[in-house]
């Protein structure tokens, strides 16, 4: 499965979870105070972007710390 498709599917499932949570009043948005409505579809792209940025941050931190460990091993040898 292509990575972008998996990121989109993760964002989609988070969107569904957000709708379920707002339906059961775990939280409400201002436009949901009188009656429940679906969360805006634009949120799917927001969740997808959050997943992509989070994965990039984790990968870069792993790369940084693995290089830091290699440098310490070289210095100690």
| Cβ 48 vs Cβ 10: under 8 Å | yes
| pLDDT per position as a tens digit, 17-52 | 999 999 999 988 889 989 999 999 999 999 999 999
pTM above 0.85, yes or no: no
Tokens of 1: 């499965």
Closest CA to 14 of 46, 37, 38, 36: 46
């Amino acid at each position: 499965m292509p990575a972008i498709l998996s990121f989109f599917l993760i964002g989609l499932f988070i969107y569904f979870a957000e709708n379920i949570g707002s339906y059961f009043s775990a939280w409400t948005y201002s436009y949901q105070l009188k009656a429940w409505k679906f969360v805006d579809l634009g949120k799917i792209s927001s969740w997808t972007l959050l997943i992509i940025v989070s994965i990039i941050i984790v990968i870069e931190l792993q790369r940084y710390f693995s290089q830091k460990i290699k440098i310490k091993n070289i210095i100690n040898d």
